[in-house]
Amino acid sequence: MSPDSNQKTVLDPFGTSMVADYERLYKEFGIEPFKPLLSRVPNPSMYMRRGIVFGHRGFDRILGAMLKHEKFAVLSGIKPTGEFHLGTLMTAKEIIYFQQQGAQTFYCIADIEAYEDNKIPFEKSEKIAVDNIADLLAIGLDPKRAYIYRQSKEVRVKDLAIIFGRAPTLATMKAIYGERRIGLYLSALIQAGDILLPQLEDFGGPKPTVIPVGVDQEPHIRFTRDLAQIFGRKYNFILPSSTYHKLMRGLDGSPKMSKRQMNYFTLHDKPETIAKRISNAFTGGRATVKEQRELGGAPEICPLYETCLFHFVEDDDKIIKIYNDCKSGKLLCGEHKKQTIDTVLRFVKEHQRKKKNFIDKAREILQVE
Amino acid sequence: MSPDSNQKTVLDPFGTSMVADYERLYKEFGIEPFKPLLSRVPNPSMYMRRGIVFGHRGFDRILGAMLKHEKFAVLSGIKPTGEFHLGTLMTAKEIIYFQQQGAQTFYCIADIEAYEDNKIPFEKSEKIAVDNIADLLAIGLDPKRAYIYRQSKEVRVKDLAIIFGRAPTLATMKAIYGERRIGLYLSALIQAGDILLPQLEDFGGPKPTVIPVGVDQEPHIRFTRDLAQIFGRKYNFILPSSTYHKLMRGLDGSPKMSKRQMNYFTLHDKPETIAKRISNAFTGGRATVKEQRELGGAPEICPLYETCLFHFVEDDDKIIKIYNDCKSGKLLCGEHKKQTIDTVLRFVKEHQRKKKNFIDKAREILQVE
């Protein structure tokens, strides 16, 4: 048998080639591994089960609240710069998971960040936000039990940013965000305001709050935890907790999905476009069919496998079967692409149908004419 | 006759030894001299007549509006860090002057700046602000025709700051304000928001606006004019105008009034304290009475004379007489101190009496319980 043995496969069906980097995060940044907590989570999410949520800060506190049925909150959001893609879909699903576990739910439209960082005027981000929220509702967030807001309209968040402004030195801001315009630093303070909003008296006061994010957002979390500590006496903030998920690679195998490289798809691309992007995706396949039958594929480096693992194959047994069939050389890339195209297009079609019905509701929530 | 001849006296009764520095401002910073406009101002203020308002930016535009009875606005304010002193009194009188000339009037309590720059919590600055506004009303501002607000409660100002945040580079902020915490830069953006607030649609849209300030505030004005230009297309801002007044020296003759040096008095000091500060003031007197009788005093370097010139002798003929009597050796420092103490204490007593009646009104305006 090859070194990529079935034995290893079964042991690490949810691994990726980037695991080593995540290990580094544990050591260098003090992110704690999620795995030791997993067995105690009453009803772990798909992302938790699959190790996609690989790390956390202070999740013990959230777990405690879940186990004792005490109140806790979840907050995350979206920067309204474009259509829902697989990255934003992930955060949305994480929010929905925690809502279903009983969390007081907050979803933030980061339109100030979109303005300061991406120069998107508020008139434009408002339209995008309506679309994003319709997506969120179609995916399953219950708006009746959630506070959905735009930063630009949420005075409490802006006021927290003003309060926090006194603390961080310019050196701190530069260390975290680089030499940027003042507005970008301001939007970082605003984001800290978002994260601590659930703990204001208006929302029932201090409580454990979990922020599920991609690991690239870790600096924001650390920054906010520092602020929560500094202003702890005034507000009695409980340090916010976080979970970190791995980031999906681009379909071309590059480490990040990027607009410029068009190496991903959104939930609003045409079926032909999606099919074409998947067909052209980089895979973990071998040079020839013969080789692949003999040696097996390499799902751990395959963005197509990742697409299934992160999103489109929810049944754990099924995804393990795909992994093993690939590793054993039974499932070839061409067939897997065909299967994946079918699955994705079915999901997208259904999503679009549902979403249409939520546009009016999204307008109502965001108070957009 | 000495070189300090009566001839020179009559020519420059309102000069100070610091004039040379102001000349430099014209050249280096492009501040325009006010004097050439003076004859066209319909009803010039005491500060204008006396050359205390010595410079401006774009005041032609305000003058035009005054002459044609077109709408214009005036805005200035106070940082609520303590009691009204002679410096804040000056700005207050300038605001009241423009209000009386028909300006739409804005008075800002810069409590965000007090927080970010002086670490004064909002609970504390609120109390100070009530006191400051009672002073302002006692001095003569008509609250029925003025918009008086706190930065922390004025969402439109905060939103302008967020809009403006995208433009200035970090290098610009550092050049103007030095290497400061992010909150200080934020409060500079907030102040720009204050200055442009009168031009928002809520207040009748773009209009000439004059900001009467001490010359030390010039960097704010330039900063805001730059922002008004950058965001001109979106808001149709008219570049704000400014007038610059000279700064009073400390009573000890040092160039600035300073809390640490206790070289000034507030409108709330005890009569004994005020009398003592004036008695101990540095003057432009000579070493001996005999010398002074012969050579005359030097009002142009005398903080006591300045106190009268800036505030307590409103009649131009009277102040010219004081100047000439001093220059000619007729008026000695001891006598002038006695006169000044009488005048100041009479004013302060009357002010305190009036002010008491305005405390409730000030609370109402600021919506403080």
pLDDT band for position A23 (cuts 50, 70, 90): confident
The whole-chain average pLDDT of chain A stands at 91
In a shared domain, residues B296 and B235: no
In a shared domain, residues B84 and B170: yes
Q: Which of B119, B166, B183 lies at the smallest CB-CB distance from A115? A: B166
In a shared domain, residues B314 and B192: no
Q: Which residues of A touch B169 (CB under 8 A)?
A: 181
Residue type, A347: F
Confirm whether A24 is domain-assigned: no
Q: pLDDT tens digits for A41-61?
A: 999 999 999 999 999 999 999
pLDDT of residue B15: 53
Q: pLDDT tens digits for A172-185?
A: 999 888 889 999 99
pLDDT of residue B217: 87
Which CATH number do you get for residue B326?
1.10.240.10
pLDDT of residue B87: 86
Taking CA atoms, what residue in A is nearest to B182?
A: A165
Instruction: Report CB contact under 8 Å: B185, A183.
Output: no
Q: pLDDT tens digits for B115-162?
A: 999 999 999 999 999 999 999 999 999 999 999 999 999 999 999 999
Question: Is-contact A311 A89, C-beta < 8 A?
Answer: yes
Which domain-ending residue is among A247, A263, A287? A247
DSSP letters along A3-39, please? SS-HHHHHH-TT--TTHHHHHHHHHHH-PEESHHHHT
Q: What is the ipTM of this complex?
A: 0.85
In a shared domain, residues B287 and B187: no
Cβ–Cβ contact B227 with A under 8 A:
no
Q: Which of A119, A162, A164 lies at the smallest CB-CB distance from B166? A: A119
Confirm whether B342 is domain-assigned: yes
Give residue B200's domain range: 31-247
Which domain-ending residue is among B247, B279, B309? B247
Our measurement of the distance from residue B76's CA atom to the centroid of its chain's CA atoms, rounded to an integer in Å, reads: 9
Taking CA atoms, what residue in A is nearest to B116?
A: A166
In a shared domain, residues B96 and B214: yes
In a shared domain, residues A173 and A319: no
In a shared domain, residues A182 and A330: no
Give the containing element (helix H, strand E) for A161.
Answer: helix A155-164
Residue B280 makes CB contacts below 8 A (sequence gap 6+) with B251
In a shared domain, residues A272 and A234: no
Confirm whether B120 is domain-assigned: yes
- CA separation for the pair B321, B326 (Å, rounded): 8
The answer on pLDDT for A12 being more than 50 is no
Confirm whether B201 is domain-assigned: yes
Confirm whether B21 is domain-assigned: no
Our measurement of the distance from residue A229's CA atom to the centroid of its chain's CA atoms, rounded to an integer in Å, reads: 25
In a shared domain, residues B156 and B201: yes
Confirm whether B368 is domain-assigned: yes
Higher pLDDT, B24 or A104: A104
Taking CA atoms, what residue in A is nearest to B155?
A: A155
Q: Which residues of A touch B179 (CB under 8 A)?
A: 170
Q: Nearest C-alpha of chain A: how many angstroms from B120?
A: 11
Cβ–Cβ contact A233 with B under 8 A:
no
Which CATH number do you get for residue A103?
3.40.50.620
- CA separation for the pair A354, A78 (Å, rounded): 20
In a shared domain, residues B156 and B180: yes
- CA separation for the pair A257, A8 (Å, rounded): 28
Q: Which residues of B touch A116 (CB under 8 A)?
A: 162, 165-166
Confirm whether B106 is domain-assigned: yes
Taking CA atoms, what residue in B is nearest to A165?
A: B183
Q: Which residues of B touch A183 (CB under 8 A)?
A: 162, 164-167
Q: Nearest C-alpha of chain A: how many angstroms from B220?
A: 16
Six-digit token string for A115: 């303005």
pLDDT of residue B249: 85
Query: How confident is the prediction along chain B (369 residues), in pLDDT tens digits per residue?
Result: 333 333 333 334 455 545 456 777 777 778 999 999 999 999 999 999 999 999 999 999 999 999 999 999 999 999 999 988 888 999 999 999 999 999 999 999 999 999 999 999 999 999 999 999 999 999 999 999 999 999 999 999 999 999 999 999 999 999 888 889 999 999 999 999 999 999 999 999 999 999 999 888 888 999 999 999 999 989 999 999 999 998 888 898 887 777 667 788 888 999 999 999 999 999 989 989 999 999 999 998 899 999 999 999 999 999 999 999 999 999 999 999 999 999 999 999 999 999 999 999 999 999 998
If one counts the domains in chain B, the total is 2
pLDDT of residue B10: 32
Q: Nearest C-alpha of chain B: how many angstroms from A166?
A: 5
The structure's pTM equals: 0.89
The answer on pLDDT for A112 being more than 70 is yes
Confirm whether A23 is domain-assigned: no
In a shared domain, residues A162 and A309: no
Which domain-ending residue is among B247, B262, B295? B247
In a shared domain, residues B3 and B36: no
Q: pLDDT tens digits for A317-342?
A: 999 999 999 999 999 999 999 999 99
